[in-house]
Chains A and B, each alone.
Chain A
Amino acid sequence: MKIHEFQAKALLSQYGIPVPRGRVASTPAEAKEIATELGAKVVIKAQVYAGGRGKAGGIKIVNSPEEAEMAASELIGTRLVTHQTGPEGVPVSKVLVEEASDVERELYLSILVDGANRLPFMMASEAGGMEIEEVVQASPEKISKAYIDPAVAFQPYQGRKLAYGMNLSGKQVGEATQLMASLYNLFIAKDCSLAEINPLVTTADGRLVALDAKLNFDDNALFRHKDIQELQDKEQEEPLEVQARELGINNYVKMEGDIGCMVNGAGLAMALNDLISGCGGSAANFLDIGTVNNIDRVVNSFRMFVADSRVKAVLVNIFGGMARVDVIARGIVKAYQQLDIRFPVVIRLAGTNVAEGKRILAQSGISFIEAKDFYDGAHKAVETARGIIS
């Protein structure tokens, strides 16, 4: 789960990490008021889940409360398109109004999870303020890393190594180490999957300040963090994906095509998407109904296809010993009864109780196209979507 920058900064601050003074505003008038309180130069930052805001015009530096009001009015209520969003962009309903910092150097600091080493690691660089992937590519010598054993926790010696790696010296080494320990405490306490400060800056008067912050949280651990759950902003997410989650379908991803897919198992779903592409078609979604045999989940999957106006054909592909084909078949029949299904449906069923499942479909009188296997299903779905067969 993602949160906004202003929320991430509030958490950092709670854990003792210095952030610029500022507050979030929902209207231009509020932005003006906050700018008046802060005095002098302020920064207005659009609050969206996507990165790349600076280049997209989502961050403005202004010199007066009037300019702050103006800048906020240019952002609030619009949609921001960055290189990380689709062409439709994401809505801006809040801006963060902050004092402008007198930046001396821009550094980078993050904690990530390494699947191969099965450990979290802290990564620091003297080259902050740009995309860290570019630094990793262009000048890997500017990156230093420290793996942290969760059973041992973050150690000050690791902090010193990273601080020297960022070319810090004097009392800033100790301060940076303290800041890193705080970030690790936050990362652990809130079950983060990513904690990133980019840039972490040194100011002209020698302070370390988190100028921007990104925190992602592990969805599987949200059950123990009610406070984090409440921070979620559904407006920033894909509406079809929000709807799927509300229908109890956790494994739905919107894609670019026009063939609705319902599959049991993520691997099978991916293999099917590959095959559809190979046949010259394109999937509208990825939808894994899982191995739970649940009639309502089948009906709700069809509800998603009906809600998605792009869908021209649907392919149902069920395979394996864990799936009860008769239950899936009952779900499909129930979906036809409850919903206004106007697209052709290609069905491939194999698994436990397959004969019973096929009998249920045949007796129901619903109209569908039967596929004999995985490959046949993909071909028929692509041809149906193109109107070649019906």
Chain B
Amino acid sequence: MAIIIDENTKVIVQGITGREGSLRSRYMKNYGTKVVAGTSPGRGGEEVDGIPVYNTVKEAVRAQGAVDMSVTFIPGPGLKTAVLEAIDAGVKYIVAPVERVPLHDIMEMVSVASKSGVMIIGPGSIGIMSPGKAVAGWLGGNVQWANKLFQPGPIGVLSRSGGESGTVPWVLKNGGFGVSTAIHTGTEPILGVSFADLLLLFEKDEQTLAVAAFGEIGGSQEEEAAEVIKAGKVTKPFIIYIAGTAAPEGQRFSHASAIVERGRGSVQSKVKALREAGAYPVETPKEIVPTLKKLLKL
């Protein structure tokens, strides 16, 4: 099972001829992802590592049949139009790894996506991986490192931090657990998909027995997750570490999503909401495995 992506998911890469696009396409393909095409205006007819390149997403779809997912290696200023192009061509999942996307552009693309039944992961998401099956984006970094950090198993993983998205899979692996699907939700203040949305998908996934997360101060993803748990829509155990206890209020860190303003979004408010909802906040990533073992009675 796993969620959103597996070995059968047909993936295209927008911006495949760029430095990041070509590098990460090679990684995805080597890991096992079904990368069927790439796009780059003016470069149609070329190939990148044996992957055919088309001028537009529509052309790629005409030649390769419907695709499920697009990974957009397009710089922030051009992301909106790339996402709208993919939606127009019928793509249902978009992974947007780029950071520094204009806020108003994100709100527009998310508005269009939600009306079209499309999920945007990111912007600023380093990707999604169902270990042993497929990866979209650059989660894991390279095949060797990905195999070192991620092994298949029954735990869904969510991360608000890109750099730290390997931490939870790594502590899980050391504790004898594997991952069903791991997702980095992105770095921007507005995101297409949240912890709460993804928890609902993990709830329905047979492979997933529990979900472990790396949260952060700022924003309201953790509080929203607490709401869906409290409402009884998520019954699988949710264990979460939240980084940023020491951050002063009102401080903006490198990604804009980590802002603590006047009590909202603080670690304390998040922990309180989660605990009251029946989730399991932990104080360090090290406590994730013992908590899981207790909850899953292993």
By a beta-carbon cutoff of 8 Å, the part of chain A in contact with chain B is 113, 115-116, 118-120, 133, 149-151, 188, 191, 193, 218-221, 223-224, 250-251, 253, 255-256, 263-271, 273-274, 276-278, 282-283, 286, 288, 290-291, 319-322, 351-352
Contact = CB atoms under 8 A, between A and B. Distances in A.
A321 B247 contact: no
Contacts of A267: 159-164, 214, 216, 243
A278 B189 CA distance: 28
A288 B254 contact: yes
A266 B194 CA distance: 18
Given A115-B257, A319-B163, 10 more contacts: A115-B191, A151-B108, A151-B115, A224-B102, A266-B163, A266-B187, A268-B167, A269-B254, A271-B243, A271-B244
Interface stretch (B8-16, B33-41, B61-69, B217-225): B217-225
A116 B221 CA distance: 7
Contacts of A250: 254
Interface bin, chain B: 35 or more
B149 interface: yes
B140 A321 contact: yes
A266 B258 contact: yes
Centre residue among B76, B145, B190, B194 by max chain A CB count within 10 A: B190
Contacts of A220: 76, 100-103
A237 B162 CA distance: 28
A253 B259 CA distance: 12
Main SS at interface, chain B: loop
Contacts of B114: 118
B163 A352 contact: no
B241 to A, nearest CB: 8
B163 A116 contact: no
A271 B142 CA distance: 24
B109 to A, nearest CB: 10
B214 A253 contact: no
Contact of B253 (A120, A149, A219, A286): A286
B246 interface: yes
B190 A320 contact: no
Contacts of A150: 104, 107-108, 111
B166 interface: yes
